[in-house]
Structures are given as structure tokens and as C-alpha cells.
Structure 1
Amino acid sequence: MINIIVAGPRGKMGSEALRLIKQTENYHLVGCIDRKNEGMNVSDLEGLPNLDAPIFTDAEIAFQEAGADVLIDLTSPEAGYTHTRLALENGVRPVVGTSGFSDEQLTDIQRLTEQKELGAVIAPNFAVGAVLMMQFAKWAAKYFPDVEIIEKHHDQKLDAPSGTAVKTAKLIEQVRESKKQGHPEEKETLAGARGADEDGMKIHSVRLPGLIAHQEVIFGGTGQGLTIKHDSYHRQSFMSGVKLAVDQVQKVNAFVYGLENLLE
């Protein structure tokens, strides 16, 4: 049995995590971390699965009292970072799907993971298809060094570009020689028109209602083009990756950044 705390149970991703726990035989919800509803039970909240677990507004008390093995955090960069540190300090293994962590925060979490000798998984994207898209893009970049990334998300997403887009660019950088793309005298007549610049690659962020999570990696070569694309049409698409991470974080005593490091 794996005892789990979920942060942000009322959020769209958090509520999907609760449904995953309810339908998985060896998962047991022992508590939730929420900004309100202290002292209430998950089963008391309308629209959430009928699970018997207390709600805590104080994350540290939750980790001290709930008896959790794993934290699932799919909240925001600020809350996710705080929850991850508190989890590790209290012997709980974090599985975090929040994008937007800085390099300094990731380094700090890795240091704490090593200090506590615990497993921790942080993944910019838990959709297995998105992870494969990133790996295919890295492979393609060996042969197509001219590349642009377009990521599209719902209009309530706080960070831009997405963690998936940044992770994709970082993977491409491992195999692509640094180069500035486009005409050397190119000028933006409207600031920002060409998108963010990462090692000469351009990253474009789209935010519109109705979208979930979508990304295209577009490669251009002489006389040809290649587009690698992934779409998440429902937040259920992320749950297979969350389950994989929850199962695997129990077996490792190291910091894992990116779901691809858990795939065979």
C-alpha cells in the first residue's frame, strides 16, 4: 500500500490525481493540502471523489501527521517548491508536475534529495506522449538544427514558456551546435514577434481558452520540413505518467528530472 498526500485537491489536475488514487488498488489517500477547508474531509467537498481523508491548510502539519509515503503536487511553482522541500524534510517522497521551477530551485531540491537519501520526481509533463515527443525532437535535431517550438496552453496557465517547451529546448541543445537562426539583419517591427530566444531557437507561447496542453517542434531544412507534435485533449492524459512516477519514486533514492528517465 502506498500512502499519498495530494496538494491542491480542488484544482483540475489535483482532482484527476484523486480519481487516479480512488481507482488504483494499492493507493491510499491519507490527506490533502488545500488553501482552505481546514478540518474538513475530502468526501465533504462537492465534485471530488468520495475519499475518506482529512484536509490540511498547513503543509508541514500534513506531512508530520498524515503518515504519507508520497506527495503528489500538481499546483503552482511557488507552492510546489515549498511543498517539495517540506515533504523531503519530513521523509516524504515528492512527485511534482509543476513547471516553472528555476535552475536554482531544482539544484536546491536535488541537494536536499541527496542529503535525505530519498527519491524525488519532477516532470515538466506527465503525458507519456509528450515525453516521447521531446525525445523524438532531440533525435531529429541532430539532422535538422534549424528549429522553432510552438507551445499552446489554456489561458489560466501562469508560466510562459511552458516547462515542456523549455525542457525540449534543453534536450535539443545537447545535440545541436549553438547557432542564431533567421536572417542576420532580422528586425522585429513589433517587440516579441519572433518569440523567446533559447540558444538561437525561438519559442512561442499561445494562451487561449479551450486548449489543454499542445506542442509542436518545427524543423526546417533545404527543401523539406519536419513537425513533431503532441496534443493533450484531457487532463487524464497526464495520469499514466503520474502513476508511473508514484510507483518508481518508491524504488529510487535520487533526484529524477523528467519522466523520460523512468521509461524503459
Structure 2
Amino acid sequence: MIQVLVAGFRGAMGQKTVKMVQSHQGFALSAVFDPKITDLNPKSYNLPTNVQVLNTYDQLHAHVADVWVDFTNPSAVAANIEAAINAGIHPIVGTSGMDPANQERLIKLANAKHLGGLIAPNFGLSAVLLMKFAQAAAAYFPDAEIIEMHHQDKADAPSGTAIATAHKIAAGRTQKPLPTIDNDARGQRVDDVPIHAVRLPGYIAHEQVLFGGPGEALTIRQDSFDRQSFMQGVAVAISKVQDADRLFVGLENFL
């Protein structure tokens, strides 16, 4: 039985993760974490009495949980994961927008401790496949742009998935893209790929990659209509993360 701690358990993704862990035969919810709460009674959050409610890093140790699943926010996630790694807990990060310098630092810390973990820009299998297909297409279509669309409360823009997609496109290119006009309306450029971010009510998580070539175009699109779609990927990560000996970036490494 894999003991799981969920950080950010009161948020939309955190709540979905808590329910998934509780319903999974191979997982047990051992703890939840939120530094903003003072009430440590699990009944206050409709949780079983055997679930530990934590609000400080000092409460962490290897017996609290095997796996730390983090759905907090970009400003908190780096410190959270550092604390988890130092406590010997395998981290699974579902928060996009992590600073690249922090990401590299955490990778080195986990690798030095031979502790497996995962930073996933997206847990949706359709999003993972979109990035894979985009990298393959970039070998033939170096000119590409990304449009990512999310709910109005998403804290970061562009999304971590869009940034990861841009990196994949750059890695797949065999020639440089054509020069184009560059101003604010062209979006933020990542690896010479313009990314346009949309934040509107009614959306969950959507991304399309547009490729253009002489006389033809290619569009790859994925849509997540419900946050439940991410739970299959989260479950895969929880099941496999303890077998890893370093911190990976991308769910595709566990598929």
C-alpha cells in the first residue's frame, strides 16, 4: 500500500487527487499539507481521523508518506518539493510554471539523494501525446505557434504545458523557422515559438499547435473537459515513482 500525502488538498486538483487516492486499492491517504491552515483536525475537511493534517515542514519525515503529490502554486512548489526530498518522500509535482533555476536545483538535490520523483507539466495523456506529436511534426514544419486556453483562475501564463511543448518543438526542428514580426501581440516566445495564452471561464485546459508550410498547414489539438481526466496520469506516477532513482521531467518517462 503506497502512502500518499497531498499538498494543496483544498484546491480543485487537490480534491480530485484526494478522492482518487481514497478510491484506489493500492493507495492510502496518509496526510495532507497546507501552510495556510491552523485547524489540524481532519474532520474539519471531511477526512478520516487517521489522516494527518500538516502545516509546517518540521512535521515531515519519511514515515509520514511514501509519495508527496503537489498541486499548490508556482510560488510555493519549489520549497515544498525541497522539503519533501529532504524528508525522503518521493515528490510528484503537478504545478506548472516552476522557475527553471529551481527545477534544475531540485533535480540535482533529488539525484544526489538517489530519490525518484516527477515534475509533470501535464498529467493528461492527450497532452503528453500532443507534445510527442508536435516534436515529430517540427522536423518537417519548423514554423509553429501555440495557443493555450485555460480557466480564468490559472495563476501562470503561459502554461507549463505550452512551455514544455515549445521546448519539444525546438528539439524536433531540423531547420530554423522563418523570421516574423515581433511585438506584444505575437505572444511570448519560448525557443522561438510564439505562445498565446487565453484565460476564460468555461475552459479547463486546452492547447493547439499550429504548423505552417508552403501551401499547407497542420493543427494538433488536445482538450481536457474535466479535471478527472488528469487522474489516470497521477495514478500512474504514484504507482511508479518509487522505482525511479532520479527526478524526471515529463509523465512520458513513466509511461
Q: Same fold by TM (over 0.5)?
A: yes
- Structure 1 residues 228-237 or 52-61, which shifts more? 52-61
The one of 78, 82, 86 aligned to 2:83: 86
Query: CA offsets per residue over residues 163-187 of structure 1, 9 Å max, x none?
Result: 000000101111215635454xx36
Counterpart mapping for 1:124-139 below 5 A: 124-139=121-136
Establish whether residue 17 from structure 1 lines up as the match of residue 17 from structure 2: yes
Question: Percent of counterpart pairs with the same letter?
Answer: 41
How is 1:192-231 mapped onto 2 (pairs within 5 angstroms)? 192-231=184-223
Deviation at 1:157, TM superposition (A): 0.9
The letter of the residue matching 1:82 is: A
Alignment length (residue pairs): 254
TM-score by length of 1: 0.91
Change (3 A) 1:50 1:187: same
- 1:58 aligns to what? 56
Cα distance, 1:222–1:57 mapped onto 2, change above 3 Å: same
1:150 aligns to what? 147
Maintained 8 Å contact 1:81/1:105 = yes
Query: Shift of residue 256 of structure 1?
Result: 0.6
Deviations 1:204-237 (A, max 9, x none): 0001111110000011111211110001111111
Q: Tell me which amino acid in the other structure corresponds to 1:59.
A: Y
Q: Does 1:169 align with 2:170?
A: no
Q: 1:116 to 1:181 in 2, by over 3 A?
A: same
| Structure 2: 5+ residue stretches without partners | none
Q: SS of the counterpart of 1:84?
A: helix
Q: Relative to 1, partners in 2 of residues 1:216 and 1:18: Cα closer, same or farther, differing over 3 Å?
A: same
Distance 1:38 1:178 in 2: 57
Structure 1 residues 247 and 224: alpha-carbon distance in aligned structure 2, compared to 1, 3 A threshold = same
1:39 corresponding residue in structure 2: 40
Determine if the alignment matches structure 1 residue 252 to structure 2 residue 236.
no
Q: Matches of 1:238 and 1:245 in 2, distance apart?
A: 11
Query: CA-atom RMSD, angstroms?
Result: 1.7
Residues 134 and 209, structure 2, Cα contact 8 Å, conserved in 1: yes
Q: What whole-Å deviation, never above 9, does each CA across 1:95-149 have from its counterpart, x for those lacking one?
A: 1111111221111111111121110101010001100010001001111111000
Greater than 3 Å deviation, 4+ residue runs: 48-52, 177-183
> Is the Cα contact below 8 Å between 1:22 and 1:49 reproduced in 2?
no
Q: Is contact 2:62–2:87 with CA below 8 Å preserved after alignment?
A: no
CA distance in 2, matches of 1:121, 1:134: 17
Q: In structure 2, how many angstroms separate the alpha carbons of the residues matched to 1:67 and 1:75?
A: 19
CA contact (8 A) 1:84 1:109 kept: yes
**Do structure 1's residue 123 and structure 2's residue 120 form an aligned pair?**
yes
> Unaligned regions of 5+ residues in structure 1, if any?
none
**Residue 67 (structure 1) shift:** 2.1
